[in-house]
């Protein structure tokens, strides 16, 4: 006889764990099934060389929504945030460095070394992002309205959002409407003249996307990220023990609330009868029945692989097939025998290296890196976001040694005329060569390295197309259209089957927003 549960959640990524927690707090007994032997999805800490631990994929927090941290009591479950004074440092190959701090006045003083005009513009830009970000942040907490038949709650939420926009004042309201569709390169050029500053701010609008800085709509990504963090270049939020400490704390909170989590359990199929999901079939052939099935996997993996498409209309399948998920990010983790010496950071400035290190000194550099990916090639001079987490958390590496975590963009999922298996070593050398232009001693310090290609992101970590956000963050895949128009309210065409991952609204990284929003809507249906 098949096992029976209230609710099954497929995937133990952070959104799945957040959903499990809120459902358990409401009195249900969710069962989380995770294919890998560790929960966390893209937010995991693992040993990649003896004695060296790293945030294998994501290395910075979203940041998490404060109410989720509070509700789940994550700090009581051992979570310790690390916020270095330096949020990010942008390096130039000619030996210049621009450090940006959490303190806006200190950032302006640093910017003044490059341009007094830019230093004067910085506070205005940050204040606008903060004001606009607060309004967007409230909208990200909403369930997208039913366009065809909005409820009283939908209408009230839209009215509240409209009022909040009006309260921004004429200047910032105009900016919201104008900035969203803009190319982020145009946006930063309106405020700043220093290329290093333009590039590090613009990078926030293209990170993890198939956008270059001149792509229309890339400013929307910057605005979405300002909802949780108004720092124009993004603050640096790390955690003690690596990013996996976040999901371990979430798992502990969910279990305490009454959820059950099973690892090493793959789901092969969502069981559907007469258009209603009623359980899952595991990879080993076992079946588990449930009142509701919730998928933390991306929309395509859920509805085109775990579900037999014959249960969906041809029109829906066609639209979902065209949902864009072009992965562009790869990851490299290095075990180092010592701290590298960056040319631009005199005397091995450790403080400047505690935040994120930005490699991409000009808008044109970023655009050229993007250009290569458009034609199926990985960038020969990639845009890199680097962190050395062992500087702020020595427990990640043996004494005196260090871990380097490197996001690499652009690395297209489909390579033209070749494949990732044959290009892995060449890709790794390209990344190290690029970094060596800024830290000439780096290659001699490498003990070991781990390369994670877009293909690995799909096959090992379940990210279809290697896309870290479960789908492109774009104007036509945002809010009421994420993942598809008419299907942005966490439900699917199959009754009792729901989505809670980053392929749903708001879907902007490691914030927990999609999981919290989904839990709220699913609870309404379960209580009926």
pLDDT of residue 108: 96
Tens digit of each residue's pLDDT (9 = 90 or more) over 215-224: 999 999 999 9
Q: pTM for the full model?
A: 0.96
Matching residue, tokens 């390169």? 185
As beta bridge partners, residue 261 has: 32
What confidence score (pLDDT) does residue 197 get? 98
Q: 10 Å Cβ neighbour count for 372?
A: 17
**pLDDT of 347:** 65
Contact predicate 207/22, CB 8 Å: no
Cα–Cα distances (Å) from 427 to 19, 368, 424, 443, 444, in that order, read 37, 17, 5, 15, 18
pLDDT digits (tens, 9 = 90+) for 475-503: 999 999 999 999 999 999 999 999 999 99
Rounded to whole angstroms, the Cα distance separating 90 from 201 reads 10
pLDDT in tens, 34-52: 999 999 999 999 999 999 9
Q: Which DSSP letter does residue 143 get?
A: P
Q: Which residues of the chain have pLDDT under 50?
A: none
Q: Determine the 3-state secondary structure of 280 from DSSP.
A: strand
The reported pLDDT for the residue numbered 353 is: 93
What structural domains and CATH numbers belong to the chain?
3-80+243-324+467-527 (3.50.50.60)
List Cβ neighbours of 74 (8 Å cut-off, separation of 6 or more): 64, 68, 246, 249, 250, 253
Report the percentage of the chain scoring pLDDT > 70. 99
pLDDT of residue 61: 85
Q: Are 443 and 449 within 8 A, CB to CB? A: no
DSSP assignment of 199-226, as one string? Answer: HHHHGGGTTTSS--TTSTTHHHHHHHHH
**Cα–Cα distance, 23 to 5 (Å, whole number):** 13
What pLDDT is attached to residue 254? 98
Q: 81 in helix, strand or coil? A: strand
pLDDT of residue 1: 53
Find the angle CA(254)-CA(255)-CA(258) to the nearest 5 degrees: 90
What is the structure's pLDDT at 148? 80
Q: Is 1 exposed, middle or buried (0-12, 13-18, 19+ CB in 10 A)?
A: exposed
């Amino acid at each position: 006889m098949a096992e029976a549960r209230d609710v099954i959640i497929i995937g133990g990524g952070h959104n799945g764990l957040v959903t499990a927690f809120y459902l358990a707090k409401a009195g249900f007994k969710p069962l989380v099934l995770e294919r890998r032997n560790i929960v966390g999805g893209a937010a995991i800490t693992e040993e990649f060389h003896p004695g060296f631990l790293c945030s294998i994929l994501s290395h910075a927090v979203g940041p998490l929504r404060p109410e989720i941290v509070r509700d789940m009591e994550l700090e009581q479950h051992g979570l310790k945030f690390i916020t270095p004074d330096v949020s990010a440092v942008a390096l130039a190959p000619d030996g210049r460095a621009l450090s940006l701090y959490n303190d806006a006045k200190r950032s302006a003083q640093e910017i003044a070394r490059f341009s007094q005009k830019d230093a004067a513009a910085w506070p205005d830009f940050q204040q606008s992002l903060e004001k606009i970000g607060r309004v967007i942040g409230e909208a990200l907490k909403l369930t997208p309205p039913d366009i065809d038949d909005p409820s009283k709650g939908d209408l009230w939420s839209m009215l509240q959002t409209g009022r909040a926009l009006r309260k921004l004042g004429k200047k910032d309201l105009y900016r919201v409407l104008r900035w969203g569709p803009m190319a982020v390169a145009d946006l930063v050029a309106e405020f700043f003249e220093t290329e290093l500053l333009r590039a590090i701010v613009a990078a926030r609008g293209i990170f993890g996307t198939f956008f270059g800085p001149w792509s229309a709509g890339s400013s929307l990504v910057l605005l979405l990220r300002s909802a949780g963090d108004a720092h124009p270049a993004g603050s640096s939020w790390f955690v003690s023990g690596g990013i996996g400490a976040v999901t371990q704390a979430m798992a502990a909170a969910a279990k305490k609330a009454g959820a059950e989590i099973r690892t090493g359990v793959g789901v092969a199929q969502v069981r559907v009868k007469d258009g209603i999901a009623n359980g899952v079939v595991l990879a080993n052939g076992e079946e588990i029945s449930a009142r509701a099935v919730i998928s933390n996997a991306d929309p395509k993996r859920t509805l085109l692989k775990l579900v037999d498409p014959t249960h969906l209309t041809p029109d829906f399948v066609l639209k979902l097939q065209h949902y864009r998920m072009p992965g562009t990010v790869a990851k490299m983790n290095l075990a180092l025998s010592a701290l590298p010496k960056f040319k631009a950071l005199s005397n091995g400035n450790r403080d400047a290296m505690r935040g994120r290190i930005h490699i991409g000194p000009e808008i044109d550099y970023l655009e050229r890196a993007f250009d290569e990916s458009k034609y199926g090639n990985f960038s020969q001079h990639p845009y890199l976001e680097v962190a050395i987490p062992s500087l702020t958390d020595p427990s990640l590496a043996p004494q005196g040694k260090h871990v380097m975590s490197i996001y690499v963009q652009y690395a297209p999922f489909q390579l033209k005329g070749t494949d990732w298996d044959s290009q892995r070593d060449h890709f790794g050398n390209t990344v190290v060569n690029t970094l060596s232009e800024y830290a000439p001693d780096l290659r001699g310090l490498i003990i070991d390295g781990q390369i994670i290609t877009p293909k690995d992101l799909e096959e090992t970590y379940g990210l279809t197309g290697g896309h870290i956000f479960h789908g492109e963050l774009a104007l036509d895949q945002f809010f009421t259209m994420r993942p598809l128009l008419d299907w942005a309210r966490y439900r699917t065409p199959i009754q009792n089957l729901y989505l809670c991952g980053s392929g749903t609204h708001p879907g902007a990284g490691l914030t927990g927003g999609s999981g919290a929003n989904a839990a709220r809507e699913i609870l309404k249906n379960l209580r009926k």
